[in-house]
Structure 1
Amino acid sequence: MSDTRFTRRGRFGWAFYDWANSAFATTVVAGFFPVFFKTFWSADYPAETSTLQLGVGSALASFLVLFLAPVGGAIADRGHRKKAGLALSTGLSVAATAGLFWVGHGQWLTAMTLFVLASIGFFMAMVFYDSLIVDVALPDDYDRTSALGYGLGYLGGGLLLALNVAMTIWPHAFGLADRADAVRWSFLSVAIWWALFSLPLFLFAREDTGRGRAPVGRAMREGLSELRGTIGEIMKQREIWLFLLAYWLYIDGVNTIVRMAVDFGLSLGFGQESLIMALLLVQFIGFPAAIAFGWLASIWDTKKAIYLGLCVYAAISGWAYFLHDVWQFYAMAVAIGLVQGGVQSLSRSYYARLIPDGKAGEYFGIYNMLGKFAAVIGPLLVGVVAALSGSARLSILSVVVLFIAGGWLLTRVDAGKVRHSVNA
C-alpha cells in the first residue's frame, strides 16, 4: 500500500498532541487540583476527610480506566476509529476541565466528579494516541517520533505551568482578583490550550482505515469478542508478556519516585515554592532530554538507552536517602528530568515493535492499563518499609528494587525474535 500516511507533517502533528495534553498532567494533576481541592472545594472538611475524598476519586478514575482502556483499544482496531476515539476522549476531558472554572467554594463533589471525568478522558485518549504511532511512523522512526512527543509534552506542559504559577503569584498583574481566581482561570487555560493544540494531529495525522470501517455496533461486538482472547494471545508471545511485566515493574518505580518526590520534600521541610520550582525544572529539562534519548536510541540501542535511564533512577533513589538540603532536591529534579521522558518514550516505541500488525489499539490498551495500574507496588513498598523501619529515607531507597527487577526482566526480551510484516 502507499506510504502517504508516513509524512513529517503527520509525525509532527501526532507528537504535538503531547504538547497539548501535558498541560492537564502538569497544571491540573500535579500542580493545582490537589491543593485547591483541599483549600477551596473541600475546605469545610477536616484534612483527613478531604484526603479520603481525593483518594477515592482518583482510585475510581483509575479503576474505570483499567477496564475501559483495553476495551476502547479493541473497538478502535476493529472499527479503524482511533482518531474518532481520541477526539471523543479529548472532548470529554476538555469540557470537564473547563467546567472546573465554574465550581464554587465548598462544592467538592462537583469538582471531584469533573476531575474523575477529565482523568478518564485523559487516560483513554492516551490509548488511542499511543496506538496511532504505527499509523504515522515506520518502525525505524518509532524512537525519534515517540521521543519528540514526550519532549514537546515536557516543554508545552512546562510553559503553561510557568504561566499559571505566575498568575497565582501575581494575580493582580493579570487582572485577576486573587490567587483563587488565578487558579480557576488556570483550569480554563488548560482546557483552551488542550483543545487548540490538538488540532495539528486531527489535521495532519492520517489513520490506516484498512479495508474500510466497520459500523460502530459491529466494531464494538467484534472488538469485545476479540478482547477476550487478547490476554491469551499475549501469554503465548513470550517477548510481549515478558516486556509488559518488566515495564510494569520499572514504570511503577518511575511513577513512585514522581509521586513521592513532593511529599518527600515536604517531609524534609522544603517550601512549596521550592517544590514548584523543582517541578518546573523537570519539565524544561525533560524537553531536550527526551528528544536526546530518541537520538541516542537511533545510534546506539533502544534497550541500552532504557537501561541507562533505569540506572539513573536507581541512583536517584540512593541520592534521596542522603538528601538534606534544598539544592540536593533540585539536583534530584534535574536527574529525573534527564531520564524520565526517555524511559517513557523509548518504552512506548520498543513495545510498538513487538505488537502484531492491526492490533495496535488493542495491545496499547493493555499497555496503558498496566501503566495506569503502576505505582501500586512502589507506594505499598515505601509504606511498609517506612512503617517497619521508621525511616522515610530508607523507604525511598527501597524503590531501587523495582528498577533492578524490571531492568533484569527487560534483558530477557529480544525484539529480534518478533517478526511482523510492515506495510510500506
Structure 2
Amino acid sequence: MTVRPDKRAITSWALYDFANTIFSMNVISLYFALWVTVDHGGQDILYSLALSGSMFAVAISVPVFGAISDHTGRRRFPLTLLTLIAVVATALIGQTSQLAVGLCLFMTANYCYQSALVFYNGMLPSIARQSNVGMVSGYGVALGYVGSIAGLLLVKPFVADGGRAAAFLPTAILFLVFAIPCFLFVKDPGPKPFQVDVGQAFRTLRATIAGASQYHVLFKFIGIHFLILDVVNTVIAFMAVYANKVIGFNDSQITTFLILSTAFAMLGSVIIGWLVKYKGTVFSYWTVLWIWLAALTIIMVSPGETLFWLVGPLAGIGMGGVWVVSRTIIVELSPPEKVGEFFGLYGLAGKMASIAGPLIWGSVVWILQDTQTLKYRVAVGSLLLIAVITIILFNKLQDQFPKHSATS
C-alpha cells in the first residue's frame, strides 16, 4: 500500500530551511562580522576564532547527535531545543555592547544552529515517505535561497534606523516564526527509548574513515573537496568585511551584493545541475573550480566598485554549483550500501573546512594588521593559492574517475 506524503509536514519542514537561512545570511555572512570588525573595532581573528571554535564544537558533537537521531528516532525535540537556544542567543547579541559577550553569544547561536541541522536533515526520509526525496530536499533548498533574500530585505529597515546591532532581534524573531511550523507539524515516526552509546558513535566514525580510505578515489576527492570548501566557507564568512574595508561598500551596497550572489547561486544550481546531466561530473567540477579561480582573482585585484560587482554573480554560481556536483560525485564513487556513511564523511569535511578556512583568513589579516587594505588582499591571495592547489590535485585525480563521470 502506497503511503501518501503529508503535504503539511513537507511544507513545514521546507519552511525551516527558509528560517535558518535567514540566520545564516544575516548573522554569519553579513552583520555579525561587521559588528565585530567595524562597530567594535575588533580584529578579524576574533571573528575567525569564534566561528572556527563553534564549528570545532559542532564537529565533535555531530557523531553523538547523529547517533541520537538514528538510534532513537527523536528529532523534533532536539531540533526545537537547539533552535530556541540559537534564537535567544541571536536576539541577545543586539542587546550587549560588550564585544566578548557578543562573541560568546554568537558561538552559542552558531553551535546550536549548525547542530540542529543534524536532526533537521534526519527528518527528510520520514516526511518524504515514498515520494521523491530529492524533490522534497529541493523544496527546502529553494526556500532556503528565498529565505536568504527575504531575511536581508526584511531586516534592512531595522539596520537603517538603528545600526547593525538592530539586525539581531528581528533576525531571531524571523528565524523563530518560520521554524514554528516544523516544531508543530513534523512528528517523529515511532520514537524509541533514549539510549545512546556515545563511545560507539565515535567508533563508528573512525570505522567510516578507515573504510573510506579503502576507496582511494573517493577518499582523495573528499580531501580535494575539503580544500575548495575552505575557500567557499571563508568567502561566505568574510566577503562583507572585505567589501566594506577594501572596496568601500556601505551596508546597503553589501546587501544588494549578497542578494545578487544569492540569485546567481539559485541560477548556478540549475546550470551546474544541467552540466552534470549532459556533460558529466568531471567537466562540471572543473567548471566550478575555474569559476572560483576567476572570482578570487577579481576579488584580489579589484581597484574599486565597478569590477568588484562581477564577483557577486561568479561567486554565486560557484557557490550554488559546488554543492550540486560534489554530492553527485559522492553518489557516483560510493558503493550503494555505503552512500550514507560517505555522505557523513563528506559532511564532516565541510565542517572541518569551516574551521580551517576562517582561521587562515584571520591569521593572515592578524599577521599583516599594520598594512591597511593589503592584509585583506593577501588573505584572498591565500584562498587563491588553495584554489590553485585544488585544481592541480583534481587534475591528477580525474583520470581515476569512472568513465561515465567524464561524460554522461
Interval containing the TM-score (normalised by the shorter chain): 0.7 to 0.9
Count of matched residue positions in the alignment of Structure 1 and Structure 2: 392
Confirm whether residue 93 of structure 1 aligns to residue 77 of structure 2: no
Encode CA deviations 1:333-362: one digit per residue, 9 max, x unaligned.
1121223123224434654674866984x6
Confirm whether residue 246 of structure 1 aligns to residue 224 of structure 2: yes
Residue 312 to residue 52, structure 1, CA distance change in 2 (3 Å) = closer
In 1, Cα distance between the equivalents of 2:116 and 2:176?
Answer: 13
Confirm whether residue 29 of structure 1 aligns to residue 31 of structure 2: no
Mapping of residues 247-266 of structure 1, within 5 Å: 247-266=225-244
Residue 378 to residue 95, structure 1, CA distance change in 2 (3 Å) = closer
Work out whether residues 143 and 349 of structure 1, in 8 Å CA contact, stay in contact via their aligned partners in 2.
no
Q: Which residue of 1 aligns with 2:256?
A: 277
Residue 133 to residue 3, structure 1, CA distance change in 2 (3 Å) = farther
The one of 103, 122, 128 aligned to 2:119 = 128
The one of 400, 409, 412 aligned to 2:387 = 400
In 2, Cα distance between the equivalents of 1:347 and 1:253?
Answer: 15
In 2, Cα distance between the equivalents of 1:373 and 1:322?
Answer: 29
Alignment identity in percent? 24
Amino acid at match of 1:4: V
Confirm whether residue 194 of structure 1 aligns to residue 175 of structure 2: yes
In 1, Cα distance between the equivalents of 2:6 and 2:272?
Answer: 22
In 1, Cα distance between the equivalents of 2:125 and 2:392?
Answer: 29
Q: Which residue of 2 aligns with 1:115?
A: 106
- How far the C-alpha of 1:366 sits from its partner, in A, is 3.7
Residue 99 to residue 373, structure 1, CA distance change in 2 (3 Å) = same
Q: Which residue of 2 aligns with 1:310?
A: 289
Q: Give unmatched runs, 5+ long, in structure 1.
A: 172-177, 418-424
In 2, Cα distance between the equivalents of 1:121 and 1:239?
Answer: 34
Greater mean alpha carbon deviation, residues 114-123 or residues 87-96: 87-96
In 2, Cα distance between the equivalents of 1:18 and 1:122?
Answer: 11
Q: Which residue of 2 aligns with 1:420?
A: none
Work out whether residues 295 and 314 of structure 2, in 8 Å CA contact, stay in contact via their aligned partners in 1.
yes
The one of 133, 138, 157 aligned to 1:166 = 157
Work out whether residues 71 and 223 of structure 1, in 8 Å CA contact, stay in contact via their aligned partners in 2.
yes
Work out whether residues 300 and 381 of structure 2, in 8 Å CA contact, stay in contact via their aligned partners in 1.
yes
- How far the C-alpha of 1:138 sits from its partner, in A, is 8.7
Residue 377 to residue 64, structure 1, CA distance change in 2 (3 Å) = closer
In 2, Cα distance between the equivalents of 1:239 and 1:139?
Answer: 32
Amino acid at match of 1:74: A
Residue 189 to residue 336, structure 1, CA distance change in 2 (3 Å) = same
Residue 213 to residue 262, structure 1, CA distance change in 2 (3 Å) = closer
Work out whether residues 148 and 290 of structure 1, in 8 Å CA contact, stay in contact via their aligned partners in 2.
no
Amino acid at match of 1:96: A
Confirm whether residue 104 of structure 1 aligns to residue 82 of structure 2: no
Amino acid at match of 1:164: V
Mapping of residues 383-394 of structure 1, within 5 Å: 383=364, 392=378, 394=381
TM-score (norm 2): 0.78
Q: Which residue of 2 aligns with 1:174?
A: none
Amino acid at match of 1:400: A
Amino acid at match of 2:249: G
In 1, Cα distance between the equivalents of 2:3 and 2:32?
Answer: 42
Give the 3-state SS of the residue equivalent to 2:152 in structure 1.
helix
Mapping of residues 173-212 of structure 1, within 5 Å: 178-179=162-163, 183-184=165-166, 186-202=167-183
In 1, Cα distance between the equivalents of 2:339 and 2:173?
Answer: 33
In 1, Cα distance between the equivalents of 2:325 and 2:186?
Answer: 21
Work out whether residues 67 and 201 of structure 2, in 8 Å CA contact, stay in contact via their aligned partners in 1.
yes
In 2, Cα distance between the equivalents of 1:397 and 1:96?
Answer: 34
Work out whether residues 290 and 341 of structure 1, in 8 Å CA contact, stay in contact via their aligned partners in 2.
yes
Residue 350 to residue 20, structure 1, CA distance change in 2 (3 Å) = farther
- How far the C-alpha of 1:146 sits from its partner, in A, is 4.4
Residue 19 to residue 414, structure 1, CA distance change in 2 (3 Å) = farther
Amino acid at match of 1:117: T
Q: Which residue of 2 aligns with 1:333?
A: 312
Confirm whether residue 149 of structure 1 aligns to residue 175 of structure 2: no
- How far the C-alpha of 1:23 sits from its partner, in A, is 0.9
Mapping of residues 215-234 of structure 1, within 5 Å: 215-218=193-196, 220=198, 222-234=200-212
TM-score (norm 1): 0.75
Residue 95 to residue 259, structure 1, CA distance change in 2 (3 Å) = closer
Computed over aligned residues only, the root mean square deviation of the Cα atoms, in angstroms, reads: 4.0
Amino acid at match of 1:69: V
In 1, Cα distance between the equivalents of 2:317 and 2:90?
Answer: 29
Residue 91 to residue 379, structure 1, CA distance change in 2 (3 Å) = closer
Residue 304 to residue 134, structure 1, CA distance change in 2 (3 Å) = farther
Give the 3-state SS of the residue equivalent to 2:195 in structure 1.
helix
- How far the C-alpha of 1:118 sits from its partner, in A, is 0.7
- How far the C-alpha of 1:29 sits from its partner, in A, is 1.5
Greater mean alpha carbon deviation, residues 261-270 or residues 159-168: 261-270
Work out whether residues 5 and 130 of structure 2, in 8 Å CA contact, stay in contact via their aligned partners in 1.
no
Work out whether residues 47 and 103 of structure 2, in 8 Å CA contact, stay in contact via their aligned partners in 1.
yes
In 2, Cα distance between the equivalents of 1:247 and 1:146?
Answer: 22
- How far the C-alpha of 1:18 sits from its partner, in A, is 2.0
Give the 3-state SS of the residue equivalent to 2:213 in structure 1.
helix
Greater mean alpha carbon deviation, residues 288-297 or residues 56-65: 288-297
